[in-house]
């Protein structure tokens, strides 16, 4: 496989357009062709507007060029890789491939995104030399977000090509690659279809509601919030029915075949055109001006306001934070919840065990396929180990992939309840947060000091990273609220000083420090990233200073650092005052939250290894700087301009009186405090202003109400 500079994606439907968008995210130009250029352009627009978006940023859209098959197919002779993603119809695919082979480069990689049609059927009759370059590359929708890429060899695919495509998928596209056998629906959709069918079967047998099943098959058991029936609404009921029917037709010898047939209520909903989100109603729909969520009764097909079911076993299990312990408790329940889950886990495991020799090379492949393609925390074999299912599962094999670091397996140098120091090897230490949601309290901040001291004395470099769901959601709000309510102002002042000093210690560390954020880096988590001498960010980075949502301003150096970095108080005022959060690492660079030189890692599993390499690469030339005393600020004239903008927003009722107070304090910080004209201040002066504003806001009842509301409801209060 030669270097991939350009791809051609054939078919601009939901999958094709989003595949092209993700190649653009990786910096690879893409031709996107369909029956007409208008259809191709429509696909690009849909990928751009979807929520969440298919592109990292608007700038990436220009890398995708629309066109039609009739006019532009000859252009694919410029493509290093041709990916077919048209309808799941063998006749349509073969007819298009006949035309493609007339124009494709003789050394181009050729692949199909079929979700289940055997590759041998698609390439039947092709020249052997062409078949060597042909394979299946099954992306999962949406390609930007779902980690799985299934690679399927055709009857003559070159083994070296398979390896090179796999490496490209992992490193450049950021995918978790699983090599499948050429069997119907491959691995993830074969097991996923069975899991979904079993869910529907058990719902009917145990007389559960749609809401109850979605409660039982969501985050409670380590699955996404979309659970079962919300997921089908997103995928499309018609798509789900077709997957089931196609699989049913293609596996006549499968002993569980009848399980795969779609249930009658699902087929009837498709007949009525209730296809899910794309048609406005499916298992759920929104009703009335307030968009109230209604849910269907699968027995009558009538809608009712969605219930919030309360199952005793579930209420008890929610109190158990450790997921394996929670799962074991749930399956011991003698009621409907326990019966449902125990049967679901047991039968999915037995089906996976029986199908293993047919569809996969190892149990680990099946587990990875379900984890990466369906976002299950545990695959069926790991679940069997956790629950002690019979027969005892075979050894899954060691998950050893070059460049993939598992922090939990590394030597622990030092630890406290909120953070650990681990040995990354080669003289590099890793500071790992592991509190709930990686919020930052005394333990985390204390370990920052300990890690910097340890590195200065005994190591070459430090990486600040973790493998939790989020990098860090910021300061521990509960501790802030309790201190404010008890009026422990000296203690709170000291805590803010410690956090500010920790940020500055990172920025001016004696030895190289690389901060490696992923997913959410909010509030205090964002401030740690802002102060890093170097950042290696995962591509999916949602980063921002969101403190105004809880009635305060950034207090650990965020206001100061953006003032130093951006030199434009209006831009900083907008970023903080509107609590802007990046939609990707690339977007964070556009917003000014990440330096343009920050590294970006597409594959989250490789983030820590990339950060380690970056840190060690700094060692020979690293020279720490000194805190600045020459930061230019605008004084009273700049403050007046910012204050006027906030006042106009209050007059238009866009913000509340308390928002105006927060804006006033923020404007004073960004312009250097009360002073008649432009002047030069130190970083420490700005930090002092931050701390004073933070403390004064914490003393207001409105801010305390906002913090309490966020802690209870997980969303901001406007008061």
* 121: in domain: yes
DSSP of 619-659: TTT-------S-EEE-HHHHHHHHHHHHHHHHHTTSS-HHH
Q: Which residues contact 389 (CB under 8 A, 6 or more apart)?
A: 345, 346, 349, 383
DSSP of 554-622: --SSHHHHHHHHH--HHHHHHHHHTT---SSHHHHHHHTSS-TT-EEES-GGGHHHHHHHHHHHHTTT-
Domain-ending residue, one of 562, 589, 618: 618
Please indicate, yes or no, whether residues 230 and 352 belong to a single structural domain of this protein: yes
pLDDT tier, 572 (very low <50, low <70, confident <90, very high otherwise): very high
Three-state SS string over 52-71 comes to CCCCCCHHHHHHEEEEEHHH
Please indicate, yes or no, whether residues 596 and 479 belong to a single structural domain of this protein: yes
Domain-ending residue, one of 179, 213, 237: 179
Predicted local distance difference test score (pLDDT) of residue 401: 86
Overall domain count for the chain: 4
Residue 303 DSSP code: E
In 3D space, the residue among 533, 547, 553, 545 whose CA is nearest the CA of residue 595 turns out to be 533
pLDDT tier, 239 (very low <50, low <70, confident <90, very high otherwise): confident
Please indicate, yes or no, whether residues 225 and 340 belong to a single structural domain of this protein: yes
Q: Which residues contact 315 (CB under 8 A, 6 or more apart)?
A: none
Residue 133 has pLDDT above 90, yes or no: yes
Distance from first CA to last CA of the chain, Å, rounded? Answer: 59
Please indicate, yes or no, whether residues 143 and 247 belong to a single structural domain of this protein: no
CATH of the domain at 13: 3.40.50.720
CATH of the domain at 487: 3.90.226.10
Residues 163-182, mean pLDDT to the nearest whole number: 97
CATH of the domain at 260: 1.10.1040.50
Q: How far apart are CA 247 and CA 185, in angstroms?
A: 7
Predicted local distance difference test score (pLDDT) of residue 686: 97
Residues 327-338, mean pLDDT to the nearest whole number: 97
Residue 2 has pLDDT above 80, yes or no: no
How do residues 481-507 score in pLDDT, each as one tens digit? 999 999 999 999 999 999 999 999 999
Please indicate, yes or no, whether residues 344 and 420 belong to a single structural domain of this protein: no
Please indicate, yes or no, whether residues 49 and 143 belong to a single structural domain of this protein: yes
CB 712 within 8 A of CB 698: no
Please indicate, yes or no, whether residues 477 and 511 belong to a single structural domain of this protein: yes
Please indicate, yes or no, whether residues 379 and 492 belong to a single structural domain of this protein: no
Share of the chain above pLDDT 90, in %: 94
pLDDT tier, 14 (very low <50, low <70, confident <90, very high otherwise): confident
Predicted local distance difference test score (pLDDT) of residue 617: 98
Predicted local distance difference test score (pLDDT) of residue 358: 97
Predicted local distance difference test score (pLDDT) of residue 651: 96
pLDDT tier, 400 (very low <50, low <70, confident <90, very high otherwise): confident
What's the chain's average pLDDT?
Answer: 96
Domain-ending residue, one of 179, 202, 217: 179
Dihedral (Cα; 459, 462, 468, 471), 10-degree rounding:
160
Predicted local distance difference test score (pLDDT) of residue 165: 98
Residue 52 has pLDDT above 90, yes or no: no
* 219: in domain: yes
In 3D space, the residue among 331, 340, 334 whose CA is nearest the CA of residue 389 turns out to be 331
Residues 606-618, mean pLDDT to the nearest whole number: 98
Please indicate, yes or no, whether residues 452 and 473 belong to a single structural domain of this protein: yes
Please indicate, yes or no, whether residues 199 and 170 belong to a single structural domain of this protein: no
Burial 45-60 (b: 16+ CB within 10 A, else e): ebbbebeebbbbbeeb
* 553: in domain: no
Secondary structure element (H or E) that encloses residue 354, with its range: helix 336-359
* 235: in domain: yes
Predicted local distance difference test score (pLDDT) of residue 278: 87
Please indicate, yes or no, whether residues 142 and 116 belong to a single structural domain of this protein: yes
Predicted local distance difference test score (pLDDT) of residue 88: 87
* 570: in domain: no
Residues 539-551, mean pLDDT to the nearest whole number: 97
Residue 488 DSSP code: -
* 660: in domain: yes
* 626: in domain: no
CB 76 within 8 A of CB 101: no
* 576: in domain: no
Predicted local distance difference test score (pLDDT) of residue 675: 83
Residues 330-355, mean pLDDT to the nearest whole number: 97
How do residues 631-652 score in pLDDT, each as one tens digit? 999 999 999 999 999 999 999 9
Residue 676 has pLDDT above 90, yes or no: no
Angle at 153 between CA 151 and CA 155, to 5 degrees: 165
Predicted local distance difference test score (pLDDT) of residue 136: 98
Please indicate, yes or no, whether residues 605 and 707 belong to a single structural domain of this protein: no
**Residue 11 lies in domain:** 6-179
């Amino acid at each position: 496989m030669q270097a991939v500079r350009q791809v051609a994606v054939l078919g601009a439907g939901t999958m094709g357009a989003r595949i092209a968008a993700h190649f653009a995210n990786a910096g690879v130009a893409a031709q996107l062709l369909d029956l007409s250029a208008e259809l191709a352009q429509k696909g690009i627009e849909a990928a751009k507007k979807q929520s969440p978006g298919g592109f990292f940023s608007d700038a990436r859209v220009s890398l995708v060029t629309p066109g039609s098959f009739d006019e532009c197919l000859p252009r694919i002779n410029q493509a290093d890789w041709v990916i077919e993603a048209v309808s799941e119809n063998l006749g349509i695919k073969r007819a298009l491939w006949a035309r493609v082979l007339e124009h494709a480069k003789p050394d181009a990689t050729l692949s199909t995104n079929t979700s289940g049609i055997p590759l041998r059927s698609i390439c039947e009759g092709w020249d052997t030399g062409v078949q060597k370059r042909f394979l299946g590359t099954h992306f999962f929708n949406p390609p930007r977000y779902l980690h799985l890429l299934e690679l399927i060899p055709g009857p003559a695919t070159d083994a070296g090509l398979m390896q090179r495509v796999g490496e490209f998928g992992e490193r450049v596209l950021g995918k978790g690659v699983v090599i499948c056998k050429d069997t119907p629906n491959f691995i993830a959709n074969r097991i996923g279809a069975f899991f979904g069918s079993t869910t529907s079967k058990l719902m009917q047998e145990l007389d559960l509601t749609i809401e109850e099943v979605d409660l039982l098959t969501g985050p409670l058991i380590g699955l996404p919030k979309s659970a079962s029936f919300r997921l089908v609404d997103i995928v499309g009921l018609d798509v789900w029915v077709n997957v089931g029917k196609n699989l049913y037709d293609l596996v006549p010898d499968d002993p569980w075949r009848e399980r795969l047939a779609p249930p009658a209520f699902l087929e009837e909903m498709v007949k009525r055109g209730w296809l899910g989100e794309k048609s406005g109603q499916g298992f759920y729909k929104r009703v009335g001006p307030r968009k109230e969520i209604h849910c269907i009764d699968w027995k009558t097909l009538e809608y009712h306001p969605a219930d919030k079911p309360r199952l005793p076993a579930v209420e008890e299990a929610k109190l158990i934070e450790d997921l394996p312990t929670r799962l074991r408790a749930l399956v011991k329940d003698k009621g409907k919840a326990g019966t449902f889950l125990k049967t679901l886990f047991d039968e999915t495991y037995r089906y996976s065990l029986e199908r293993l020799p047919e569809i996969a090379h190892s149990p680990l492949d099946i587990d990875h396929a379900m984890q990466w393609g369906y976002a299950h925390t545990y695959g069926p074999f790991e679940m069997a180990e956790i629950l002690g299912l019979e027969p005892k599962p075979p050894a899954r094999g060691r998950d050893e992939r070059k460049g993939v670091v598992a922090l939990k397996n590394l030597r622990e140098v030092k630890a406290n309840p909120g953070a650990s120091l681990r040995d990354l090897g080669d003289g590099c230490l890793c500071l790992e947060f592991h509190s709930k949601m990686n919020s930052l309290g005394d333990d985390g901040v204390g370990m920052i000091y300990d890690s910097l001291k340890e590195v200065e004395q005994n190591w070459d470099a430090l990486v600040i990273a973790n493998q939790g769901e989020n990098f860090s959601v910021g300061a521990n709000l509960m501790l802030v609220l309790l201190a404010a309510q008890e009026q422990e102002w000296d203690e709170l002042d000291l805590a803010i000083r410690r956090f500010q000093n920790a940020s500055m210690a990172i920025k001016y560390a004696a030895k190289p420090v690389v901060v490696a954020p992923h997913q959410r880096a909010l509030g205090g988590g964002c401030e740690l990233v802002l102060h890093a001498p170097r950042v290696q960010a995962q591509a999916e980075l949602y980063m921002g200073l969101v403190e105004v949502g809880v009635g305060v301003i950034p207090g650990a150096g965020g206001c100061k650092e953006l003032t130093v970095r951006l030199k434009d108080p209006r831009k900083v005022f907008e970023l903080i005052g509107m609590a802007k959060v990046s939609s990707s690492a690339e977007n964070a660079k556009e917003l000014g939250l990440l330096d343009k030189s920050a590294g970006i890692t597409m594959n989250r599993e490789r983030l820590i290894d990339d950060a380690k390499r970056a840190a060690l690469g700094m060692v020979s030339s690293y020279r720490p700087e000194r805190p600045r005393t020459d930061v230019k600020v605008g004084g009273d004239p700049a403050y007046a301009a910012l204050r006027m903008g906030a006042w106009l927003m209050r007059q238009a009722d866009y913000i509340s009186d308390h928002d105006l107070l927060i804006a006033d304090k923020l404007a004073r910080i960004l312009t250097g405090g009360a002073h008649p004209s432009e002047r030069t201040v130190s970083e420490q002066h700005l930090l002092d202003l931050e701390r004073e504003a933070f403390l004064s806001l914490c003393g207001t009842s409105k801010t305390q109400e906002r913090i309490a509301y966020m802690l209870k409801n997980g969303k901001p209060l406007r008061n």
